[in-house]
């Protein structure tokens, strides 16, 4: 059962994460809920990479292991941003939150490209995911209005969900 969760969990967690993030931007989801989500996601990332370490030693899986390893401190930056709303060590909480948001929007993009290069079956799904990650991050960053940020996160979420669903369905 644990293996099934490891193999299919990301296909549920990726869209859920972007829906919750977008909901928080639009004040539909509380910052407390987003804080809890960051704590839970940090724990899940560590558990996932620890459980999958030996399976992720080469090729595409190694690329994704690197994304998870880099993404763990990115997610923890979000935890810090929520836990210390006044900032910490002279760094504004907004900086920590931006690291978490834009980190997860952009970190998977190179791995999606690499996966597309290595996968002859569905490379377009991964290129689409990479493009949406970058375009969505740019849209979110260009205009600080909540609706614009949420629209950017929607683009990121759609693309990354397409990429992870392709991977889950094919493998």
How far is it, in rounded angstroms, from Cα 48 to Cα 157? 21
pLDDT value for 168? 86
What is the value of pTM for the model shown? 0.92
Q: pLDDT grade, residue 3 (50/70/90)? A: low
CA 163 from centre of chain: 12
Mean of pLDDT values over 65-89: 95
How far is it, in rounded angstroms, from Cα 54 to Cα 169? 22
Q: pLDDT grade, residue 52 (50/70/90)? A: confident
């Amino acid at each position: 059962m644990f293996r099934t969760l490891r193999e299919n969990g990301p296909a549920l967690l990726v869209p859920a994460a972007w829906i919750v993030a977008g909901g928080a931007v639009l004040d539909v989801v509380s910052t407390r809920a987003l804080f809890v989500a960051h704590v839970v996601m940090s724990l899940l990332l560590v558990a996932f990479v620890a459980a999958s370490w030996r399976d992720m030693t080469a090729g595409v899986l190694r690329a994704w292991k690197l994304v998870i390893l880099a993404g763990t401190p990115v997610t923890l930056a979000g935890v810090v941003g929520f836990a210390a709303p006044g900032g910490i060590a002279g760094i504004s909480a907004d900086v920590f939150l931006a690291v978490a948001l834009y980190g997860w929007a952009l970190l998977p993009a190179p791995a999606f490209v690499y996966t597309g290069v290595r996968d002859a079956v569905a490379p377009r799904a991964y290129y689409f995911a990479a493009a949406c990650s970058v375009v969505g991050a740019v849209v979110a960053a260009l205009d600080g209005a909540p609706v614009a940020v949420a629209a950017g996160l929607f683009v990121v979420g759609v693309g990354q969900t397409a990429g992870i669903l392709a991977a889950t369905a094919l493998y």
